[in-house]
Chain A
């Protein structure tokens, strides 16, 4: 059985990647764009899941770091004459730095207070971006950001997004599987016991936040590449909760769940949005159905049903 799992596991992702590389030459431009948006959102949801799913922390305002990354690129490209790549490289680091600052205060607190303080700090960033017209463009945001010609077309943005997404996913996977990732998951399951065996819980949590916000910054860069604009809604807490829902929808105790969640959310929003303006109503109903019937998320449900993940093996081991 384990051999079957192995071949399926390595074959599946490879097939998907090959399909995604070929796809843009077949499908219309609109779908290329939607896929690119899915890449951005998937990376964002994955980065959030590092803290929420693997780390068990209530990261309620993840969108703030995403927005900080996007704004950093946008401001560097429009307000400074530095070479373009500087902005692209700086954004994740700025996001991670903000993550470090906010994380320093948050990890001192217990679960719900952690989330509340983060909402407060994130909203402060939102309020500044929303109001500072002369610098961030206020509620209009920044439009028409000049991008390098290679990635300014939809297809260019698509491939850029795909490459960054794949690299990021490999790195996130390696972290997930590393001793650090294992420790983090142990902290999620039982912080007291981890503390007792000499793990510095807060430091691990802080490092996880910094890494996750770094990837959120990369997602912010991708957003600018795909959309060519930024606006304060990226930093708004409602959007952050939507990312949260994506993780839940996909299944946050699984590795690839958030990608699936992001893909489902973006596709639904796009295609439902064509027929009705009441998208949030549908999202709300979907979320309630999810809470009642699929608390493990779609991926978690599938994994349980078809047993193509380690969870079943683990359960067997336990017995």
Chain B
């Protein structure tokens, strides 16, 4: 438990940047989870598995098109759709029949889905470590705060806000987005004015899972893709949406920032216990504001 690094201003700055880029990945994943939570009011435990599928799909698609720049971009665009398809099948075949049941059953269903998808990934892709390369222009690093900062992380820093704005525009400016938000508040009323609530829910679920897949595809070049990714991310995602305020997209953003930054500062201050810091932050926030930082849509 010794301080291995001298803590200087540039070190703080570069860790802040690392934390921010981690937060952007977390945000892309948790915004989807938050959206599902907001509309369906179910914490989707399988969200992490879909994120993992997104990463594996990115690997396969990238390989299919021979890696390189084309492979990377196609993987980034197509793998969220693969994940969306998987979730659509699960939703229409099984999940949609449970909407009338109590919430715990919905939650346990998503847990079952997590167990099944986890093993299916093992069946399809095996237990090996996989990795994909970012295109030429995203490799290497630039110098920021006297420290090397990976170029790809700059790309991530751009993607996070892009997804945030996109999701905001979608849920506030489009008709289907407005319907989804209305269904979140009062599903009976939405049903009463002649909208098929079941399909609205299906749409919200698939959109949330699409974002999980996008997060997986985005994270793929920076990590080794392997089974077990789902367990790590889902825990973090759960806690982020909780401290942010259930169902609140900007809450997911705030939560992701807190989580990512405490994690990277943890590495700076006390490397051995780096994973403890975010949990500690979560505990403090929940004791201080039990229902999260921002207003929950519930």
Which A positions have Cβ atoms within 8 angstroms of B? 58, 105, 108-109, 112-113, 116-117, 119-121, 123-124, 127-128, 130-133, 236-238, 241, 244-245, 248, 278, 280-281, 283-285, 287-288, 291-292, 295
Contact = CB atoms under 8 A, between A and B. Distances in A.
Given A116-B286, A280-B118, A284-B114, 12 more contacts: A113-B290, A117-B286, A120-B279, A123-B279, A127-B279, A128-B273, A131-B272, A245-B108, A248-B108, A280-B115, A280-B119, A291-B108
Interface in B209-257: 231, 235, 238-239, 242, 246
A288 B94 CA distance: 9
A101 to B, nearest CB: 11
Contacts, number: 105
B242 A283 contact: no
B97 A292 contact: yes
Interface residues of B, number: 40
Given A124-B279, A291-B105, A112 B111 contact: no
A281 B109 contact: no
Contacts of B282: 120, 124
Given A108-B290, A285-B116, A119 B123 contact: no
B242 A117 contact: yes
Q: Is the interface of B mostly helix, strand, loop or mixed?
A: helix
A132 B272 CA distance: 8
Interface in B87-137: 94, 97-98, 101, 103-105, 108-109, 111-116, 118-120, 122-123
A228 B112 CA distance: 31
B177 to A, nearest CB: 24
B239 A283 contact: no
Given A113-B291, A123-B239, A127-B275, A291 B115 contact: no
Nearest to B37: A112
A281 B120 contact: yes
Nearest to B114: A284
A248 B120 CA distance: 24
A78 to B, nearest CB: 21
Nearest to A58: B104
Contacts of B273: 127-128, 131-132
B120 A124 contact: no
Contact of B238 (A58, A119, A278, A295): A119
Contacts of B169: none
B238 A287 contact: no
Nearest to B111: A241
Contact of A278 (B45, B119, B239, B290): B119
Contacts of B283: 120-121, 124
Contact of B112 (A113, A133, A284): A284
B287 interface: yes
B94 to A, nearest CB: 7
B208 interface: no
B141 to A, nearest CB: 28
